[in-house]
Amino acid sequence: MLLVNIFKIESLVYLGCSGEMKIMSFLTETETVGRILQHIGEPHHAPTTYPTRDSPINDTEINQPLEWDVTGVEPL
């Protein structure tokens, strides 16, 4: 159902004849999944991740007082 909501496709319908597909098993062992992916020519390792970059404005560059200075402000 998540695939239907995200990609707007019915993932368990065979496009050739519009027949319903059934899930027969789930692969959960990483070694087995890696061998299958390697056999079909797909990457079998997770991509390298890199640390995110810092914010364009560093916190030390923001000079805001912690409290409002209300001296000299006329009430409404």
Question: What does the pLDDT read at residue 43?
Answer: 87
Question: What does the pLDDT read at residue 69?
Answer: 66
Domain-embedded: residue 70? no
**Radius of gyration over every alpha carbon of the chain, rounded to an integer in angstroms:** 27
φ, ψ for residue 20 (rounded to 5)? -85, 135
Q: Total structural domains in the chain?
A: 1
Tokens 């998540």 correspond to what residue?
2
Domain-embedded: residue 19? yes
Question: What does the pLDDT read at residue 38?
Answer: 92
Range of the domain at 27: 1-42
Domain-embedded: residue 74? no
Q: Could you state, in chain order, the average pLDDT of each consecutive group of 10 residues for the chain (76 residues)? A: 70 77 83 91 85 67 63 68
Question: What does the pLDDT read at residue 50?
Answer: 84
User: pTM for this structure?
Assistant: 0.39
- Residues 26, 29, 35, 40: what is their CA dihedral angle, to the nearest 10 degrees? 30
